[in-house]
Amino acid sequence: MSNITVSRLSQKVISPAEPTPGGELRLSWLDRYPTQRALIESLHVFKEGHEPAKVIGGALGKALVYYYPLAGRLVESDEDEDGELRVACTGEGVWFTEASASCSLKDVDFLEHPLMIPKDELLPHPNPTLDPSHENKLILLAQVTEFTCGGFVVGFRFCHAVADGPGAAQFMAAVGEIARGATRPSVEPAWARDAIPDPINVRRGPLPEPSKSKLQYLAMDISLDYINHFKNQFLEQTGQRCSAFEVLVAKAWQSRTRAVNFRPESEIHLCFAMNARPLLHQTLPPNGGFYGNCYYIMRVSATSRKILHSSVLEIVKLIKEGKKRLPAEFARWAKGEVIGDPYQITSDYGTLLVSDWTRLGFAEVDYGWGPPVHVVPLTNLDYIATCILVKPSAQKPGARLITQCVAAEHLTPFHDGMINLEH
């Protein structure tokens, strides 16, 4: 498919459609966490549309009236000795690129794995390239690429320091509502960063050190029968229900542990982000419009021997026990009573970082022609072991697991372990 081309037709900066407040806004402790400065990249694939760049670009400017901080720039405040990161509400706008592809979405399998178009051709990159000191200040960039079939892909680069997954999806949903004719978002956005705890004496861990490991990308579509096989077993054995996320993460952790063959006595870790909004319902605005970072990373640890010799159902129990610790552990963190840094991301091969994209809201965004057929989370660091659960394409009920968690020599046994229902 080397003859496929993507042509960028135009680029511009879209500013709020009406005047917006100025000044600087303070970010929360979690917003300012060093790893949040990254631009989170994703592709959202839509089967059909009519002049999508024009529609989405127009709605974007109107949505920025309400989400005006996103049209600003990141700055390091002169008021603080440590140069605390803030948002300057300059109203400068977001980078917006219009592009066209020389093929249909069907020709590239709707961007199912493997990506038949390099991701950077579908993501917004200012041309000429901006000076890094300038690009590092940007909060949001978007690109709409139209395909010959009438379908289109929206590529986002969204600064994690200003919004987490549910927050980014909330903004995209607002753009969609306005694109469909609404005069304002149905959910009123709220900055409310003071509601997030600012723990005293909690020292942030160092940034992850790059390693020599080059972890391999693997996407797997998991059938509903596969998921229900384990869910029904769990219900029969415990009388309790479990989620598809718990089943698939347990299976991935077990399969990875067996594939890598860690030393039996070594301690391995499973880390996953949990939405902390329900724990702050007394301080967050009641309308649910908060879009900043509000999550906690739970860690479940065990020896390699335990994970090797446990059933999937027993590992599901470990994950459920970890989830139950959230309220108490988050409260201790908020008071500055935890040991270590729960948000520290590591490149240690013994740690697997997992996340669930099925409930963030990306799969429900509608710009006027229905929700996406496919959402593709993208990772830039191939040395941090990750596993992401996303909704599959509409014609494939079940789940899709996108992993980048094992080195090349462990990829085949990891895949074989995942498809084995016997353990």
The pairs formed by 112-121 with CB atoms below 8 angstroms and a separation of 24 or more are: 112/219, 112/374, 112/393, 113/217, 113/218, 113/219, 113/402, 114/217, 115/376, 116/1, 116/4, 117/1, 117/4, 117/6, 119/41, 119/43, 119/155, 119/378, 121/6, 121/145
Residue with tokens 């961007």: 111
Question: Are 96 and 239 within one domain?
Answer: no
Computed over every residue of the chain, the mean pLDDT equals: 93
Residue 1 resides in a domain: no
191 and 220 both lie in a single domain: no
pTM of the model: 0.93
In a shared domain, residues 172 and 247: no
Domain co-membership, 406 together with 269: yes
Residues 286 and 410 in one domain: yes
Q: What is the pLDDT of residue 81?
A: 53
- 5 to each of 42, 47, 103, 210, 315, how far by Cα in Å? 20, 19, 8, 33, 46
Instruction: Tell me: pLDDT of 396 over 80.
Output: no
Catalytic residue among 31, 44, 160, 164: 160
The total domain count for the chain is: 2
Which domain CATH number covers 84?
3.30.559.10
Which domain range does residue 69 map to? Answer: 6-195
Q: Which of 109, 221, 348, 366 is catalytic?
A: 366
In a domain, 104, yes or no: yes
Q: Are residues 398 and 254 in the same domain?
A: yes
Residues 146, 269, single domain; the answer is no
Chosen domain end from 162, 195, 228: 195
Q: Quick one: tokens of 55?
A: 């529609």
Structure tokens at 261: 């063959």
**Between residues 380 and 219, the one the model is more confident about:** 219
Helix axes 244-260, 408-419, angle to 10 degrees: 130
pLDDT > 90: percent of the chain: 79
Residue 83, pLDDT > 90, answer: no
pLDDT (mean) for 67-77: 95
Per-residue pLDDT of 120-137, as tens digits, reads 999 999 988 888 888 889
pLDDT per position as a tens digit, 234-267: 999 999 999 999 999 999 999 999 999 999 999 9
269 is catalytic: no
| Residue-level pLDDT at 423 | 57
Does some domain include residue 211?
no
Q: Are 242 and 132 within one domain?
A: no
222 pLDDT exceeds 80?
yes
The reply to whether 122 falls in a domain is yes
160 assigned to active site: yes
